[in-house]
Amino acid sequence: MTQSIRPNSFELMLNPSASSNTVYGAAQAEVLNADGLSAAKKIISRWPGYAPTPLVDLPGIAAAADTGSLHYKNEAHRFGLKSFKPLGGAYAVYRCVEAEIVKATGNSDVDPDAIMSGQFADIAAGVTVTAATDGNHGRSVAWGARMFGCRCVIFINEAVSEGREKAIAGYGAEVRRNPGSFDDAVRAAAATAGSESWHVIPDTSDGIIVEAPRNVTQGYAVMAAEAIEQLPYDGPPTHVFLQAGVGGMAAASCAQFWQSFGAGKPKIILVEPKTAACWFASLRASQPVAISGELDSLMGGLACGEVSQLAWKILKPGTDAAMTLEDEAGADTMRLLAEGRHGDTPLVAGESGVAGLAGFLAAASDVHARETLGLNGTSRVVVFGTEGATDPETYEAIVGKTPDQVAP
Ligand SMILES: Cc1ncc(COP(=O)(O)O)c(C=O)c1O
């Protein structure tokens, strides 16, 4: 195949703690479960513009990679926010506003349509939500805050592009740039929420703040649930490659495949940038390991140094293998999709959104990795294209075309 990934440009490791041939257990169901998913679906499907995103068949790439099929869940247009993230952040904002309405009215069964129609606008206006972000989560929380009528303050770190900052501010949020990394911004948001009596909506859990990140993760599960319903074949896929930052998206997706297919679930392979591979390090050590130092990656949404404790409960046993990639693999994959290089329809995909696909392409092009993962000509692979051109300037600089030129 023509994918220009250099040999040895990735690292692959089997997870020593994998126990995914067992059923989805109580420890995992405590984090994500069927009731949580149906509650999330009930709310999210009411939001203006909700529709399942497409699961795109990519037969050209599948053939070039010598595998049976490849399906790509395309999140490039979710709610017009260009990523899967509103499913999580905005859903957690909804739950937060709902809890405040319950507290203020004493009614524990508030009608979601009444919240959506602004019937409790005065209560919502008194709520301030805050979050740290590398871009997409903040946009999602800001969008949710605007939809439900509360105030929003978002913390970003030094490396977040101006384009992403402006997009968040565009939803009416106050944006504060914090020195240091994403993980430093997470701590700043939590500390400010504590001193100001705001509600912090993190997309990661330190094990102390649990409820909001659980809602975020449960909202993400809607994406994988849609994908499972859209699969054009009976039974599970064989392999799912999932990009990981703090691991919320991967945990939600893994949990959904695991609950749906039990011990027959697909192999779950986590993919991270080499410079911020906290999952790779943690799985290797069989315990959460924080990565310090320069975490910078082109795949900014994945540039996290600490795993979410909630995601850990699902991904420690549920992950089969982990990979690290160089940034160039992500950029190459963006261009491959934009060109429709193997005859597939051209797709717009952002830096962090392509990492799962990039991991699949790297593994499929390496004899040893194919053998390790059991990838072959009949494999049925699923990846999640978790963002489109969330930063159009960066997209054009990498791909050489604007998003509109790629997919008019
Ligand atoms: C586009 C995109 N994909 C994937 C991820 C990773 O999600 P998580 O941090 O839940 O692992 C992010 C995180 O911001 C993202 O923005």
| pLDDT (mean) for 220-246 | 97
Per-residue model confidence (pLDDT) at position 292: 85
Per-residue model confidence (pLDDT) at position 21: 66
Residue with CA closest to ligand 1 atom 14: 301
Question: Looking at 202, 225, 259, which one is the last position of a domain?
Answer: 202
Residue with CA closest to ligand 1 atom 16: 301
pLDDT tens digits, 304-351: 999 999 999 999 999 999 999 999 999 999 999 999 999 999 999 999
Contact 208, 214 (CB under 8 A): no
Confidence bin at 4 (pLDDT 50/70/90): very low
Q: How many CB atoms lie within 10 A of CB 294?
A: 11
CA of 302 to the centre of ligand 1 (A): 6
| Cα distance between residue 255 and residue 33, in whole Å | 8
337 found inside a domain? yes
Please give the C-alpha separations between residue 326 and each of 17, 43, 272, 276, in angstroms, as whole numbers. 25, 38, 9, 10
5 found inside a domain? no
The percent of residues above 70 in pLDDT, for the chain, comes to 98
CA of 102 to the centre of ligand 1 (A): 31
Question: Looking at 156, 177, 202, which one is the last position of a domain?
Answer: 202
- Whether 241 has a pLDDT exceeding 80, the answer reads yes
Helix H or strand E encompassing 42:
helix 34-44
| pLDDT (mean) for 366-371 | 96
Helix H or strand E encompassing 187:
helix 182-196
Per-residue model confidence (pLDDT) at position 183: 84
Task: Looking at the structure, tell me whether residues 232 and 188 fall in a common domain.
Answer: no
Dihedrals phi, psi of 178, to nearest 5 degrees: -110, 135
Q: Name the residue of 78, 246, 249, 308 whose CB sits within 8 Å of the most ligand 1 atoms, as the mutation to test its pocket.
A: 249
pLDDT tens digits, 18-53: 986 678 999 999 999 999 999 999 999 999 999 999
- Whether 115 has a pLDDT exceeding 80, the answer reads yes
318 found inside a domain? yes
Task: Looking at the structure, tell me whether residues 263 and 353 fall in a common domain.
Answer: yes
Task: Looking at the structure, tell me whether residues 183 and 91 fall in a common domain.
Answer: yes
Question: Looking at 202, 231, 262, which one is the last position of a domain?
Answer: 202
Q: Name the residue of 73, 85, 156 whose CB sits within 8 Å of the most ligand 1 atoms, as the mutation to test its pocket.
A: 85
- Closest to 334 measured CA to CA, from 300, 277, 385: 385
| pLDDT (mean) for 241-269 | 97
pLDDT tens digits, 121-143: 999 999 999 999 988 899 999 99
Atom of ligand 1 nearest to the CA of 134: 14
Residues with CB under 6 A from ligand 1: 83, 85, 134, 136-137, 203, 243-250, 301-302, 352-353, 386-387
Is this prediction's pTM over 0.85? yes
CA of 220 to the centre of ligand 1 (A): 10
Number of independent structural domains in the chain = 2
Confidence bin at 163 (pLDDT 50/70/90): confident
Amino acid at site 56: V
252 found inside a domain? yes
CATH value at residue 349: 3.40.50.1100
| Cα distance between residue 146 and residue 173, in whole Å | 8
Task: Looking at the structure, tell me whether residues 41 and 14 fall in a common domain.
Answer: yes
CA of 287 to the centre of ligand 1 (A): 21
| pLDDT (mean) for 264-282 | 97
Task: Looking at the structure, tell me whether residues 107 and 251 fall in a common domain.
Answer: no
Task: Looking at the structure, tell me whether residues 255 and 350 fall in a common domain.
Answer: yes
Please give the C-alpha separations between residue 230 and each of 45, 114, 224, 382, in angstroms, as whole numbers. 16, 31, 10, 11
Contact 254, 390 (CB under 8 A): no
Task: Looking at the structure, tell me whether residues 375 and 262 fall in a common domain.
Answer: yes
Task: Looking at the structure, tell me whether residues 65 and 111 fall in a common domain.
Answer: no
Task: Looking at the structure, tell me whether residues 223 and 371 fall in a common domain.
Answer: yes
Give the CB-side neighbour count of residue 13, counting CA atoms within 13 A.
20
Domain range for residue 40?
A: 10-83+213-406
Confidence bin at 159 (pLDDT 50/70/90): confident
Residue with CA closest to ligand 1 atom 13: 301
